[in-house]
Every structure is written in structure tokens, then in C-alpha cells.
């Protein structure tokens, strides 16, 4: 049977158990030109909260009653005259929160579990890694000697942003929640410093760590921290707007950055990015990140939970911060 998590109610504020409904259906039959994929791992991302809202965004809002949208990785267990994929292939795509999918494979790509573990293909070598790599290089335009600040520094995107910036010769300061994450960011990932926003005065500590200010701020969180970063820009600084996790569940509406005139004072730029724009360069990004991983220059960490029925509580960890690295749900039952 195929367990599927359906999106059944648009949340107002935080999503909760009533947002989804678990259904069990027969495993779908494939048509000519399709493959049947048994899913192993589902990617959990803060962007999911945005997909639940109505209204214009960078992607169509999810429809009520549809399978919860998610990136995923699994194995082809049956194929009927498919032009690219055969039985036994491992593939990654947006198959959603379900155990099986019958698909023509549009947007799917083959992955090799002998090179890195499967969950890495929905993490560092998947969308979060591509977001980090193209965001910091193409939008952040980092160069040697830059001072770079990254929020969500222990997360799937932020952890890679900082490591790429280090490789490119920047001084990198992270922001993360709690001493354990900050220790990981500095000791394991090699950031120059990490500010614990839950226990430290971010503004003061940032002043100490970056006395001459910031050249790049890679923003995953929005809210107060975006304002603090705006207050410490150097001339011609770049702010990469990748996300705003602190605001996604805000029922009172988004908090705008009241320090935005710092863009004028410092002739700075704030630019939004969506990873899909780099789709034709994913292979290039994955190759570079993969090589750096093989050389030990980039560390990738996944935090893996089990059981499709545990999706709601696992999803919640994105917003409580109770996870370390890329959040993944194993949905295959062994």
C-alpha cells in the first residue's frame, strides 16, 4: 500500500496536525513511458510553509487535497519503456510526501548512492546546496577578503553558504540558535565565529566580530536579525534574500526591515533569489560541491527522522530549531 500525506487545510499562522491527513491507497500502476518510484527520503524545508499560502508567489500554491509537496529521493522499482530511467535507478525529484509515485519523471534526475548517502542528494547536493552555492556566489558575489554574515548557519542552506564563503577566502560569521549549534558551526564547519541568537546580544556580538561591518549578509530568517545586519553594512554591501523563517508563521503580517535606508547610506543592494532560476546549472553546482565534499572541504550533515506518519512533528522542528543540519524524513518501511 501507498501511504500519502494530503494537504487538507491552509494554516493561519503555524501549520499543525490538522493541516494534513494521512491516507492509504493502493500502490499506483504505471502507464507506458512511466516509472514507479519507491521513495526513501523526503526533504523538509522552511519554504514548505510558503507553499501552503494562497496568492502569487514564485511557485503555484498547493491545492487543497493534493499530496504535500516535497523534494525526495528514492528508487525506480518498475519501468515501462521509460527513455531515461530503468528499474534499480536511484532518482531525486519533487515526488511529495508519499511512499510511491508513478511518474513520467519530469524534473527527476539520477543519483548515485555509492558516491554520497541518498539523503545528501536532497541536502547538500540538492536544492539546499544549490540555493547556498548560487546564492552566495551569484547573488552575494563574494570575493576574497569579504566579511560575510549568514543566519540559519547550522541549517541546510546556511551551513553550506558559510563553508563556500570560507573556501572563497571570506571571513564568515554565523548566527544560530543555542550553544550546541554554534559549537558545531565553528568547530565542525569552520566558520570564524557563530553568534547564539537565543542567548547572546546579536547586535553587540556582531559589532565585536565584524568591527568594520559586513560585505555580504545571507538572510534566511528576516525579522530583527535582518534589521541588525542592515545596521552594520559596509559600502556596496550585498544582502541576499533567501528566506524569512522568523516571519512565515506571523499572523500579524510580515515585519519589514525598518533599517532599509541603510541601503541608501551604504549604496547597498538587497536582492531576492529563488534556486529554480539556476536549474540549468545544477549539474555544475553539484559537481563543485561534490568535489569539495570529497576533498573534506565541505561537511554535510543530515538529521534524519523516520515514518511518514511523523511528518507533522518533524516539520515542526524546522520552526522550533530542534534539529541539526538538513532535516530529512525516512518514509520507506523496511
Judged by beta carbon, residue 261 or residue 279, the one nearer a copy of itself is 261
Which member of 116, 270, 298, 308 binds a copy of itself (CB under 8 A)? 270
User: Under the criterion CB under 8 A, does residue 277 sit at the interface with a copy of itself?
Assistant: yes
Judge whether 300 and 163 are in contact, CB under 8 Å: no
Judged by beta carbon, residue 38 or residue 247, the one nearer a copy of itself is 247
* Segment near a copy of itself (CB under 8 A); pick from 61-69, 143-151, 183-191, 253-261: 253-261
User: Under the criterion CB under 8 A, does residue 222 sit at the interface with a copy of itself?
Assistant: yes
Which member of 8, 274, 288, 304 binds a copy of itself (CB under 8 A)? 274
In angstroms, rounded to a whole number, what is the distance separating the alpha carbons of residues 279 and 282? 5
Judged by beta carbon, residue 58 or residue 283, the one nearer a copy of itself is 58
Closest CA to 69 of 332, 315, 317, 334: 315
Which member of 21, 53, 137, 269 binds a copy of itself (CB under 8 A)? 269
- Least CB distance from residue 197 to a copy of itself, whole Å? 19
User: Under the criterion CB under 8 A, does residue 221 sit at the interface with a copy of itself?
Assistant: no
- Least CB distance from residue 255 to a copy of itself, whole Å? 7
Judge whether 208 and 138 are in contact, CB under 8 Å: no
In angstroms, rounded to a whole number, what is the distance separating the alpha carbons of residues 105 and 112? 17
User: Under the criterion CB under 8 A, does residue 13 sit at the interface with a copy of itself?
Assistant: no
Lookup: cell for 58: 514564485
* Segment near a copy of itself (CB under 8 A); pick from 122-130, 243-251, 305-313, 322-330: 243-251
In angstroms, rounded to a whole number, what is the distance separating the alpha carbons of residues 312 and 89? 29
Q: What's the Cα-to-Cα distance from 55 to each of 10, 52, 59, 225, 254, rounded to whole Å?
A: 12, 10, 10, 26, 15
Give the strand pairing for 109-111 and 90-93: antiparallel
In angstroms, rounded to a whole number, what is the distance separating the alpha carbons of residues 230 and 233? 6
- Least CB distance from residue 140 to a copy of itself, whole Å? 13
- Least CB distance from residue 226 to a copy of itself, whole Å? 9
- Least CB distance from residue 221 to a copy of itself, whole Å? 12
* Segment near a copy of itself (CB under 8 A); pick from 113-121, 173-181, 257-265, 321-329: 257-265
CA angle 9, 13, 16 (to 5 degrees): 50
* Segment near a copy of itself (CB under 8 A); pick from 3-11, 37-45, 238-246, 307-315: 238-246
Q: Could you tell me the sign of the dihedral formed by the alpha carbons of 85, 91, 94, 96, in that order?
A: positive
Judged by beta carbon, residue 125 or residue 242, the one nearer a copy of itself is 242
Question: What character string, x for contact with a copy of itself (CB under 8 A) and - otherwise, covers 40-69?
Answer: ----------------xxx-----------
Judge whether 29 and 97 are in contact, CB under 8 Å: no
**What is the residue-wise DSSP string for 278-300?**
GGGGHHHHHHHHHHHHHTTSS--
**What is the residue-wise DSSP string for 181-240?**
HHHIIIIIT--SEEEETTTS-HHHHHHHH-TT-EEEEEESS-HHHHHHHHTTEEEEEEEE
Which member of 258, 281, 309, 310 binds a copy of itself (CB under 8 A)? 258
* Segment near a copy of itself (CB under 8 A); pick from 78-86, 167-175, 252-260, 321-329: 252-260
What are the residues binding a copy of itself (CB under 8 A)? 56-58, 222, 227, 241-244, 247, 253-274, 277
Amino acid at each position: 500500500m501507498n501511504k500519502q500525506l494530503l494537504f487538507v487545510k491552509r494554516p493561519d499562522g503555524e501549520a499543525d496536525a490538522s493541516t494534513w491527513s494521512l491516507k492509504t491507497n493502493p500502490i499506483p500502476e504505471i502507464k507506458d513511458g512511466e516509472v514507479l518510484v519507491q521513495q526513501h527520503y523526503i526533504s523538509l524545508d522552511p519554504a514548505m510553509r510558503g507553499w501552503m499560502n494562497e496568492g502569487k508567489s514564485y511557485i503555484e500554491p498547493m491545492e487543497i487535497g493534493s499530496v504535500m509537496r516535497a523534494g525526495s529521493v528514492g528508487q525506480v522499482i518498475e519501468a515501462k519503456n521509460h527513455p531515461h530511467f530503468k528499474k534499480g535507478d536511484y532518482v531525486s525529484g519533487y515526488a511529495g510526501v508519499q511512499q510511491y509515485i508513478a511518474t513520467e519523471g519530469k524534473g527527476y534526475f539520477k543519483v548515485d548512492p555509492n558516491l554520497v548517502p541518498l539523503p545528501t542528494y536532497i541536502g547538500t547536493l540538492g536544492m539546499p546546496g544549490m540555493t547556498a552555492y548560487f546564492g552566495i556566489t551569484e547573488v552575494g558575489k563574494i570575493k576574497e577578503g569579504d566579511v560575510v554574515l549568514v543566519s540559519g548557519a547550522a541549517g541546510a542552506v546556511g551551513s553550506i553558504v558559510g563553508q563556500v564563503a570560507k573556501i572563497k577566502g571570506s571571513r564568515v560569521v554565523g548566527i544560530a540558535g543555542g550553544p550546541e549549534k554554534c559549537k558545531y558551526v565553528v568547530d565542525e564547519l569552520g566558520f570564524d565565529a557563530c553568534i547564539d541568537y537565543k542567548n547572546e546580544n546579536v547586535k553587540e556580538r556582531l559589532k565585536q566580530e565584524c568591527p568594520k561591518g559586513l560585505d555580504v549578509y545571507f538572510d534566511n530568517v528576516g525579522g530583527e536579525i535582518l534589521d541588525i545586519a542592515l545596521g552594520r553594512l559596509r559600502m556596496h554591501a550585498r544582502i541576499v534574500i533567501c528566506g524569512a523563517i522568523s516571519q512565515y508563521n506571523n499572523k500579524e503580517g510580515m515585519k519589514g526591515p525598518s533599517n532599509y535606508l541603510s541601503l541608501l547610506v551604504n549604496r547597498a543592494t538587497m536582492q531576492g533569489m529563488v534556486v529554480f532560476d539556476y536549474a540549468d546549472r545544477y549539474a555544475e553546482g553539484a559537481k563543485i560541491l561534490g568535489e569539495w565534499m570529497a576533498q573534506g572541504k565541505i561537511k554535510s550533515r543530515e538529521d534524519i527522522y523516520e515514518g511518514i506518519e511523523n511528518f507533522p512533528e518533524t516539520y515542526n522542528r524546522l520552526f522550533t530549531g530542534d534539529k541539526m543540519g538538513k532535516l530529512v524524513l525516512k518514509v520507506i518501511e523496511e
